[in-house]
Amino acid sequence: MSHIELLNVSKSYDKQRSVLNEIDVSIEKGEFFVLVGPSGSGKSTLLRMIAGLEEITSGTLHMNGQVVNHLPPKDRHLSMVFQNYALYPHLTVEQNILFGLNAKKMDKKEQKKRLHETAEMMGLTELLKRKPRQLSGGQRQRVALARSVVSEAPLCLMDEPLSNLDAKLRAHMRMEIRRLQKKLGLTMVYVTHDQVEAMTMGDRIMVLNDGKVQQVGEPIALYNEPANVFVASFIGSPKMNMGRAVVKGQQLVVEDSLSIPVEAADVVDLPKNRKMIAGIRAEHLSQVTSDEKTHVLDVISVEHLGNETMVTFEVGREFWTAKWLGQQIVHVGDRVPVGLSVKNISFFDAETGELMKAASSQKQKEGVAI
Amino acid sequence: MIMPLYKKVVLYLLLSVSAFFIFAPAIMALVMSFMPSEQILTGTIIPDSLTLDHYRQAFERFPLLSYLTNSLIVSLLIMAGQLLLSSLAAYAFVFLEFKGRDALFFLFIATMMIPFEASIIPNFQTIRDMNLLNTYTGLSLPFFAMAFGTFLLRQTFKQIPKELKEASEIAGMGDLKFYLTVVLPVAKTSLVTLGVYGFLSAWNMYLWPLLATTDDSVRTVQIGLKQLQSQEQLNEWGVIMAGGIIVVLPTLILLFLGQKKLQKGLTEGALK
Amino acid sequence: MNGAAVSVQSDAADLIEKEKRKRRTKNVLKGILFLLPSIVFFSIFLFYPMIRTVYLSFFLTNASGAPTVFVGMDNFIQIFSAPLFLNSLKTTFLFVLYTVPGTIVISLFLAVIANEKLRGIGVFRTIFSSTMGISVAAASVFWMFLFHPTMGWLNQFLSIFGMEAIGWLTDPKWALLSVSLSTIWMNIGFTFLILLGGLQSIDSYLYESADIDGAGYFYKLRRITVPMLSPTLFFVVTVTLINAFQTFGQVDMLTRGGPQNETNVIVYSIYRDAFVNYQYGTASAQAVILFAIILGLTLLQFKLGERKVHYQ
């Protein structure tokens, strides 16, 4: 059953600057739905419209099948976690957690019960009497989560809740939020600019850019079949390598410098002599022995990450990065043999940026995995 | 940074000389209030004996105690009125969005350009016609609304993250309750600053109490001092100074206690 | 899509529109409600009196201040042809000229020397700001003795050097200067406190970077302190200026406008006409002039100041 449904939702300020354009999406009950996009893409605005903190300029927002455009936030049965946590500085942790229940004048006994359950669950029992400024960033984050949990609202909205934490804690909290959501069966709408967060947490992801929906889908689908150049470069790290490409006879020519032999079957649905953009993931610029090589490329940068090595090559005017397992002995200036196959290349229209043909190898792999 | 010694010496010298000149009138008054009258008349600067006579006489001959009480009541009334009205108005300017808000804000700025002294005649008539002359209400009412206080608190309220308001909206808390239970406690420091400032200004008010009191019933201590000065014989300087010291003591103490906060608060309010 | 569905949708849109409008009206009402107390008080004790003052300035009044005969501009003509009011205007401007620059320069000097990080600086700061806590009445009493012709400290000081005693408050040549001197002293506390706050809010990195460049004390004062302080200075000048035009208490206490009306500043003149002579009409006309001066000055200040002031 769909929990939230947006139909043709748009937002503009002063009837001029349009922030969001005709968003259509439906979010299922119990789903972890991530809104991801660069800053200024409108993702936070969309979340705040769902919360009722921003007016919807046009279109309708449904919750549980009812139109809720006109309802104030408190009648939408939701909780929200803010980027800066929005903890009341003059209240203790306990008072902060109970803030919403108090506002709703809930029975004191019930409040106590819920407080203890939640504090237990979030590991805050020891901290109940402290003020927010006496807490670490991670603890504050937990209080903000607890405030959301204690409300027992079926819908939880989060606006970049992890961006103020350091990398280690962030990774931990990702897991914890995810677990909490599953355990409580919450419908979650989660805003982030971090594609790793989106990929690791979301059941489904909506990629937004410039107020327009770029693609909605499961993380792997977004990775394997990005709907356009924007999604291709936004999802995945390092980003997908891309270059201008054109099919000439039996060759695919990339950036006027790489010629990749193609079979007729590979390019059957691609127009000849048409400008395209070819994209290939870093892990598909394979490391090969000189015998298996298809090309030799110039190394311009090497980054050692310990368990893997990022090698950046020059391809025409583009820099392409390869991700190789283990610690590779490669130096800047080396000419290194690589293997790349047209099966791993996705093709996009150079004019519109839309996907024309996704890499075919992934589909086979998926089949194998299943 | 390390300061060279000669610079330190020059600075301390400048500071001390300045401090002497600034503080001299007050010190003089303090000394004179304890100095026997004969010594005052002979132009003594450092007395060889001290007396409490002047203070006793000041309290005996004038209803100073009742003046002090009046001043305290009026100042507290004005302070409370200003805090309430300013914080309500500042709340509207920061946390409420509505048509015409900017126009109203300009109206508040415009009030800064109307000097109270220029509108004193109708104000006197208003208070007189409302039969509020010689009442605490009449003394304090005209000063409740305060643009400066509104601006100062607006600055403070603007520093409260708007997410706090949004979180309370989601929790279903109304504006009045949010104002009372979140905004006021969070902005406590600024409220204290404004309160001290309002109290100081009210305590030191001169022209309005002069007009709005015609008898001793609610007369403030400032006007009491004026009477002390004009009714006393010229050779009773000790009594007059004792009166002066009594008048400034409460405000000076308040100022010494709150100097740092006051400075920070006023600077913030002054420079949007 | 069939007809029923369309009508259901337009119903929903209607409902949403209605709710939106309702909420906007509610927001306006809520805003007004929070502002209402201030607006009511401003109206009764500021806007209405201002309008009423202008109105009264066109009338003759009876002893209780009720308008009796409409006289048009007569009150204005009368005050501007009377040497008394012209003299009062001149006195006011002179008073402003004496007190404003004096207050600013001295307070700025004090703020600069009190901004150094020295042991015991807090004591000096407290002393410098202390005059803020001293009321006009008390300050006037203190200064009245300082100005006393025989016992006063000032004349005693002069006599040490064998100089003749000055009639500080009784000599027409000196009276206005004396009142100005005491006013500057009263102003220092507040002005100092604000300027010190302004100085302290200047980022210390600016000075550290200048130190590394080897800039001298006065170079830093001129190129960093004054420009960075300009918004504060601007505010302080405006406030001092407006306060100077509204001076009343010290004149009433020290000189009562005398000698020979030499210290009869405009507010004192208004007070005397209205509440001593019961000439509410001409007093109102003077009040209108005062209002016009202050309005003009504030606007001028904003126009001139805005350009020169360096905002961060």
Rounded Cα distance between C270 and C285, Å, is 9
Q: Answer whether C99's CB lies under 8 Å from C251's CB.
A: no
Tokens read off for A111: 């409040």
Rounded Cα distance between A201 and A176, Å, is 10
Rounded Cα distance between A98 and A78, Å, is 15
ipTM above 0.95, yes or no: no
Neighbours, chain C (3 or more CB pairs < 8 A):
A, B
CB proximity C21 to A under 8 Å: no
CB pairs under 8 A between A and B: 60
Which stretches within A52-136 are classed as H helix? Answer: 93-103, 108-122
CB proximity C52 to A under 8 Å: no
The Cβ-side half-sphere exposure at B13, using a 13 Å CA radius, reads 6
C-alpha dist (Å) from residue B96 to B99, B171, B175, C29, C33: 10, 17, 9, 10, 11
pLDDT of B233 reads 59
Opening angle at CA C251, ends C249 and C257, nearest 5: 140
Q: Given pLDDT bands bounded at 50, 70 and 90, which one contains residue C148? A: confident
Q: Which of C12, C19, C20 sits opposite A60 (nearest CB)?
A: C12
Tokens read off for B187: 């902005």
What is the mean pLDDT of the segment spanning C191-206? 88
Residues of chain B with pLDDT under 70: 1-2, 232-235, 268-272
Higher pLDDT pick, B186 / C14: B186
Domains of chain A, start order = 2-228 (3.40.50.300), 238-369 (no CATH)
Mean pLDDT of the residues in chain A = 89
Span A315-337, pLDDT tens digits: 888 999 999 998 888 899 999 99
Q: What are phi and psi of A289, to 5 degrees?
A: -80, 165
CA-based nearest distance C84→chain B, Å: 18
Q: Given pLDDT bands bounded at 50, 70 and 90, which one contains residue A369? A: very low
- Residues of C whose CB is below 8 A from A72: 23
- Residues of B whose CB is below 8 A from A99: 167-168, 171, 173
Q: Do B226 and C137 touch (CB under 8 A)?
A: yes
pLDDT of B269 reads 61
Q: Which of A69, A71, A74, A76 to mutate to test the interface with C (most CBs of C within 10 A)?
A: A69
Q: Do A67 and C23 touch (CB under 8 A)?
A: no
Span A237-287, pLDDT tens digits: 888 999 999 888 788 888 888 888 887 777 777 777 778 999 999 999 888
What is the mean pLDDT of the segment spanning A68-79? 90
CB proximity C23 to A under 8 Å: yes
Q: Given pLDDT bands bounded at 50, 70 and 90, which one contains residue C5? A: very low
Q: Which of B163, B173, B182 sits opposite A84 (nearest CB)?
A: B163
CA-based nearest distance A361→chain B, Å: 47
Q: Do C16 and A70 touch (CB under 8 A)?
A: yes
Rounded Cα distance between C105 and C187, Å, is 12
CATH annotation of C74-308:
1.10.3720.10
CB proximity B99 to A under 8 Å: no
CA-based nearest distance B107→chain C, Å: 9
DSSP string, A330-347: --TT-EEEEE--GGG-EE
pLDDT of A264 reads 75
Searching chain A, which residue's CA lies closest to the CA of residue C14? A70
Higher pLDDT pick, A361 / C63: C63
Q: Answer whether A282's CB lies under 8 Å from A326's CB.
A: no
Specify the pairing of strand A78-81 against strand A155-159: parallel
Rounded Cα distance between A41 and A211, Å, is 5
- Residues of B whose CB is below 8 A from C303: none
Q: Which of A66, A70, A75 to mutate to test the interface with C (most CBs of C within 10 A)?
A: A70
A167, pLDDT greater than 50: yes
A368, pLDDT greater than 60: no
What is the mean pLDDT of the segment spanning A1-6? 82
- Residues of B whose CB is below 8 A from C35: 88-89, 92, 104
Domain segments of chain B: what residues? 74-221+250-271
Higher pLDDT pick, A360 / A302: A302
CA-based nearest distance B237→chain A, Å: 52
Higher pLDDT pick, C83 / C1: C83
Rounded Cα distance between C298 and B82, Å, is 24
pLDDT of A135 reads 93
Rounded Cα distance between B215 and B133, Å, is 10
Tokens read off for B227: 């009477």
Rounded Cα distance between C151 and B239, Å, is 16
CB proximity A60 to C under 8 Å: yes
Searching chain C, which residue's CA lies closest to the CA of residue A68? C16
Span C149-195, pLDDT tens digits: 888 888 888 888 888 888 888 888 899 999 999 999 999 999 999 89
Q: What count of other Cβ atoms lies within 10 Å of the Cβ of residue A49?
A: 24
- Residues of C whose CB is below 8 A from B9: none
Rounded Cα distance between A304 and B171, Å, is 49
Q: Do C16 and A69 touch (CB under 8 A)?
A: yes
Q: Do C252 and B120 touch (CB under 8 A)?
A: no
| Residues B74-221+250-271, CATH architecture | Orthogonal Bundle (1.10)
Domain segments of chain C: what residues? 2-56, 74-308
pLDDT of B232 reads 62
A129, pLDDT greater than 90: yes
Searching chain C, which residue's CA lies closest to the CA of residue A52? C20
Searching chain C, which residue's CA lies closest to the CA of residue A60? C13
Rounded Cα distance between A180 and A121, Å, is 9
Q: Which of B11, B213, B259 to mutate to test the interface with C (most CBs of C within 10 A)?
A: B259
Q: Given pLDDT bands bounded at 50, 70 and 90, which one contains residue A367? A: very low
CB proximity A95 to B under 8 Å: no
Q: Given pLDDT bands bounded at 50, 70 and 90, which one contains residue C27? A: confident
Neighbours, chain A (3 or more CB pairs < 8 A):
B, C
Q: What are phi and psi of A215, to 5 degrees?
A: -170, 145
Helix (H, G, I), strand (E, B) or coil at A263: coil
Q: Do C38 and B22 touch (CB under 8 A)?
A: no
Percent of chain B with pLDDT over 90: 53
pLDDT of A370 reads 40
C311, pLDDT greater than 50: no
